Amino acid sequence: MVKLSEPQIEARLEQAEGWKLEDSKWIMKKYRFREFMAAIRFVDKVAVIAERLNHHPFISIDYKMVTIKITSWSAGGLTEFDFTSASEYDQVYEKTKV
């Protein structure tokens, strides 16, 4: 996968609600849940997607808040693949958050 340029990243971020650029090579989003176990169920679903894509985000769980951080190590920055992963996580969140 080809590393995206800064303008390309900016354009992608405009479409990716809640995602923020961090350290110019990560995209990051915080997902909030009503309870701790809902956060854990979300992480389980994220993990299945990550395995299927063979693209593993950094995940942290701070009680009812899950933070996902994505980068493409092989490209040394952000690629289209990071944004398609992000979109999959958003879709799972929409289904599981209630």
CB-wise, 15 or 74, nearer to its own copies? 74
Closer CB to its own copies, 13 or 61, in the complex: 61
Check binding of 51 to its own copies (CB under 8 A).
yes
Amino acid, single-letter form, for residue 8: Q
Using CA atoms, how far apart are residues 30 and 73, in angstroms rounded to an integer?
21
Q: Taking the complex as a whole, how short is the minimal distance between the CB of residue 45 and its own copies, in angstroms?
A: 10
Our finding on whether 22 is near its own copies (CB under 8 A) is no
Q: Which parts of this chain interact with its own copies (CB under 8 A)?
A: 36-37, 40, 43-44, 47, 50-51, 56, 58-63
